[in-house]
Structure 1
Amino acid sequence: MTRPFLPVVGGRERMLRQHLEYLVHRFDAVKVICFKGRSESVEPERYRREFPTVEFEFTDYPGLLDVLRGIPALGVSAPLQCLAFFGRQKSRWVAARVHEFGPDVVVVDMLRLWSYARQLVMTRVLDIDDLLSLRYQRQLSSGASDVLGTFKERLPAVAGWAATVFATRLLAMESKRLARLEQDVTDSAASVLFVSGLEAQRHRASSGAMNLYSAPPMSADVNDARRPPVNRGDGSLRLAFLGNLKAPQNLQALRYVVQTLVPVLDDAGIDYELDVIGSIDPKVAEELSHPSVTFHGFVDDLSDALRDTDLHLAPILSGSGVKTKIVDAFAFGVPTLTTSLGLEGLEVEGRDVALVFDTPEHFLALVQAVSADPEVLQNVASNASAYVAEQHSREVVFARYAEAYDRAGI
């Protein structure tokens, strides 16, 4: 695994946790080798409590000297993130741990760790997440230039500085390198798993590979959750924004909300409160401060945080894959306002599950319309809840994983 996944603070951590749940369900024994930053703290006991039958081993990402020694093995034309996280000595250590365990299959989290699996002569399944080459292209076209995202804290400060100074060039170069690797890796993996079925189809069309599958995020557990009330127009609108705000695409969306959509609401005289839920740098929270905006940080209980929410704002401007925060809002019955890109990867064609806007003017028109006719929100929320119950249940998601592992012959 590329990172610790407890507590679950973002979409990738969520996907790692659910994939591990499936592995425990399918296999007799599971070992996890989890990479982390050198200064990153982990509570091993928490992992053992949640997964008592799994053997966990946490290891630091390789140091600079080990990374430099590993470059000849990958070649200087490899994606920068693969070069940055691959060490020659660390690779030998990983290989020794894997052979000692003697697995029937090795599952690899994302392309940046594929370098460690190339040397292993055994069945390999790649959980690719999404097409990073596409994500970086969209970041460039939308003006978001954060290269490292949530991994910035796991690398030396000099790497973060270089990535910031040369962000645009690095994103363009990395997108091209990753596109080549995305094409090549399908030949050596038994199965490749995407979050988005649409991206699996796209990659199948471009590569001709038939070993591509998808498993979407499972919907949140809402057994004890009360659907939030819909505002009846007799008080302020309660809005919510969800997401790990150390991820560049989420931070980009929040800036758009606070700097573009919030002034539209203010100018129209709409009474509202906006709750921002998710891990955030205190400096960013200070920069985006507004009298009607409250930053709650990471919360353990999303159902409680959304209990009084009228509208979930999810203006997706870049990124790829499936947006887990939108799936969660659907599951909790919270009506969602999103951009066209927000529904990408969800099998919702022809279903009225969200309110979609792509301009500030359209956003304001939708807010005014649903404030005047709250039944629209109730219908949308009901449709969205029904959709996730059909397409994002545990049974459906596990069946998707099963297809990939059956294909690998395990």
Structure 2
Amino acid sequence: MTAQSSAAGPVVLLLAARNVTAARTGRIAVLETAVRGLRRTGARVVTVAITAEPGPGEWLGCPVVRLRPPSLIRMGVAACASIVLRRTLNEALFDSARLRTRITEVAREHGAMTVVADGIRTWEAARSTGLPVIAHLDDLLSERYASTEFADGNNSLFGYFRSHIPSGLVRPLEAVVKRLLWLEARRARRRELAIAREAVVTALTGEAEARRLEASSGSRVMALPMAVEPREPGDPGNADPASAAFLGVLHYGPNIAALRFVRDELLPALRQRGIDLKVTVIGQGGPEQREEFLRSGLSFTGYVDDLSEALRGHRMFISPILSGTGVKTKVLDSLSVGLPVVATPLGIAGIPVEDGRSALVADSAEELADHVAALHADPELARTIGAAGRNVLIEHLSPATVDEGWHDALSEAMKAGQR
């Protein structure tokens, strides 16, 4: 232990495969929870953000070291190596000897005693430091990529990374990657099992996914979701009964697929009931995504500075997610202000709400339309469901609850380091 570590608590290196100071996404919310939870245990956190984007050198009161990802040429070489080594193509995005060496140097410079790895993409770099690794995989990529809905409804496979690829190469590369999703799913499965068996601590955001990986790997897997502070509740009963909010960045394929479902199935089913639902889409998105939904009954606000205020002005929140894995931060944000949630089972996966009491859940457009119609007609129902959902957040997914998990994870990593 260094003098710095012993005086101010252990130093934890958070290795992030993204620009953590950019607009908040679900994954950034998970990393925020990790930083705050670790700091409340007495640890000092240093974040290494693998990004080409500029930004502040501090995040959540902790230093941020920015390291550029490999060039496209190096990524191509790494992709070929991943195929030979039976790793995932995801890992090729951040895999280079230079980057691994630099990350190890940063760990030594700051006297880090353990590393938190942001998903599969950073596992090898975290492992190369020689320090105990807490591998937070977020969700099971193997299950996400194996989903037919994910492949068929996804026109944005590269997500936020799409902006780093020359525009002329995006569509050809996405077409190739879409054809390789089945192989990526199989390799992700092998990598998830290997990581669970080797990492000092392995974690996922969802409890059910954690238990599945634990059973298949034979190793302990923790559930460490994002935590959302309960905020000042609104009064959905007083809002426009035909107003609904949807939250999500539009570079993520499952969000686009959900909006297509809203446009093509949910809104027509509601019009048959005489309801013209106005859906406000909150979240960043480019003109290409917005153009697809022109004249569809959806309005786009883009990124908002005060998310709570933007959500409080609606009668309900809709989360008709058809593919994907993990806990949806968007739903937690809506629960935090007492907004009643109408969702598919995947939309509330990992969140212990109960259909009919703290959320309204259904599989089909017709059943979802029935739930929307019920909230539209009954302001008291909106208040009751919204308040019950907010209580679920307070009891199960508030910082006080999730911090305990991060305390346990850090304790295990520190014990491993001492051994």
Q: Is this a same-fold pair by TM over 0.5? A: yes
State the partner residue of 1:325. Answer: 330
- SS of the counterpart of 1:320? coil
Equivalent residue runs for 1:128-147 within 5 Å:
128-140=137-149, 143-145=152-154, 146-147=156-157
Give 1:22 deviation, angstroms.
2.1
State the partner residue of 1:118. Answer: 127
Check 1:229–1:380 CA distance in 2 against 1; reply closer, same or farther (3 A cut).
closer
Give 1:328 deviation, angstroms.
1.2
State the partner residue of 1:203. Answer: 213
- SS of the counterpart of 2:209? helix
Pair 1:171-2:181 in alignment: yes
Q: Tell me which amino acid in the other structure corresponds to 1:373.
A: D
- SS of the counterpart of 2:219? coil
Question: Could you tell me how far apart the structure 2 residues matched to 1:32 and 1:365 are?
Answer: 46
Question: Could you tell me how far apart the structure 2 residues matched to 1:370 and 1:351 are?
Answer: 11
After superposition, what is the alpha-carbon deviation per residue over 1:374-401, rounded to whole angstroms, capped at 9, x for unaligned? Answer: 3322221121011111011111010011
State the partner residue of 1:180. Answer: 190
Question: Could you tell me how far apart the structure 1 residues matched to 2:120 and 2:143 are?
Answer: 14
Give 1:191 deviation, angstroms.
0.2
State the partner residue of 1:277. Answer: 282
- SS of the counterpart of 1:252? helix
Report the TM-score, using the length of structure 2 for normalisation.
0.88
Name which of 311, 316, 325 aligns with 1:311: 316
After superposition, what is the alpha-carbon deviation per residue over 1:248-282, rounded to whole angstroms, capped at 9, x for unaligned? Answer: 11121112112221222234321432211111111
Question: Could you tell me how far apart the structure 2 residues matched to 1:350 and 1:358 are?
Answer: 12
Give 1:97 deviation, angstroms.
2.1
Contact 1:330 1:385 in 2 (8 A): yes
Equivalent residue runs for 1:1-150 within 5 Å:
1-36=16-51, 38=52, 40=53, 42-45=54-57, 47=58, 50-51=60-61, 54-67=62-75, 70=78, 76=84, 77-140=86-149, 143-145=152-154, 146-150=156-160
Give 1:199 deviation, angstroms.
0.9
Question: Could you tell me how far apart the structure 2 residues matched to 1:344 and 1:229 are?
Answer: 23
Check 1:27–1:155 CA distance in 2 against 1; reply closer, same or farther (3 A cut).
farther
Check 1:172–1:291 CA distance in 2 against 1; reply closer, same or farther (3 A cut).
closer
Equivalent residue runs for 1:212-231 within 5 Å:
212-222=221-231, 225-230=232-237
Contact 2:322 2:346 in 1 (8 A): yes
Give 1:69 deviation, angstroms.
5.6
Give 1:167 deviation, angstroms.
3.8
Q: Tell me which amino acid in the other structure corresponds to 2:64.
A: F
Question: Could you tell me how far apart the structure 1 residues matched to 2:319 and 2:361 are?
Answer: 10
Equivalent residue runs for 1:361-380 within 5 Å:
361-380=366-385
After superposition, what is the alpha-carbon deviation per residue over 1:199-223, rounded to whole angstroms, capped at 9, x for unaligned? Answer: 110101111112x11122212451x
Give 1:173 deviation, angstroms.
1.2
Structure 1: which 5+ residue stretches go unaligned? none
Check 1:88–1:372 CA distance in 2 against 1; reply closer, same or farther (3 A cut).
same
Question: Could you tell me how far apart the structure 1 residues matched to 2:242 and 2:48 are?
Answer: 45
Between 127-136 and 399-408, report the one with greater CA deviation.
Answer: 399-408
Check 1:158–1:289 CA distance in 2 against 1; reply closer, same or farther (3 A cut).
closer
Contact 2:114 2:414 in 1 (8 A): no
Question: Could you tell me how far apart the structure 1 residues matched to 2:169 and 2:24 are?
Answer: 23
Question: Could you tell me how far apart the structure 2 residues matched to 1:60 and 1:389 are?
Answer: 38
After superposition, what is the alpha-carbon deviation per residue over 1:118-159, rounded to whole angstroms, capped at 9, x for unaligned? Answer: 322221111111111111122556622443222222345466
Give 1:89 deviation, angstroms.
1.9
After superposition, what is the alpha-carbon deviation per residue over 1:58-83, rounded to whole angstroms, capped at 9, x for unaligned? Answer: 01111134445656875622101112
Question: Could you tell me how far apart the structure 2 residues matched to 1:151 and 1:64 are?
Answer: 12
Q: Tell me which amino acid in the other structure corresponds to 2:103.
A: V
Give 1:367 deviation, angstroms.
2.4
State the partner residue of 2:252. Answer: 247
Structure 2: which 5+ residue stretches go unaligned? 1-15
Check 1:271–1:282 CA distance in 2 against 1; reply closer, same or farther (3 A cut).
same
Question: Could you tell me how far apart the structure 2 residues matched to 1:310 and 1:383 are?
Answer: 15
Contact 2:37 2:399 in 1 (8 A): no
Check 1:142–1:349 CA distance in 2 against 1; reply closer, same or farther (3 A cut).
farther
Question: Could you tell me how far apart the structure 2 residues matched to 1:166 and 1:73 are?
Answer: 17
Contact 1:276 1:294 in 2 (8 A): yes
Question: Could you tell me how far apart the structure 1 residues matched to 2:83 and 2:152 are?
Answer: 30
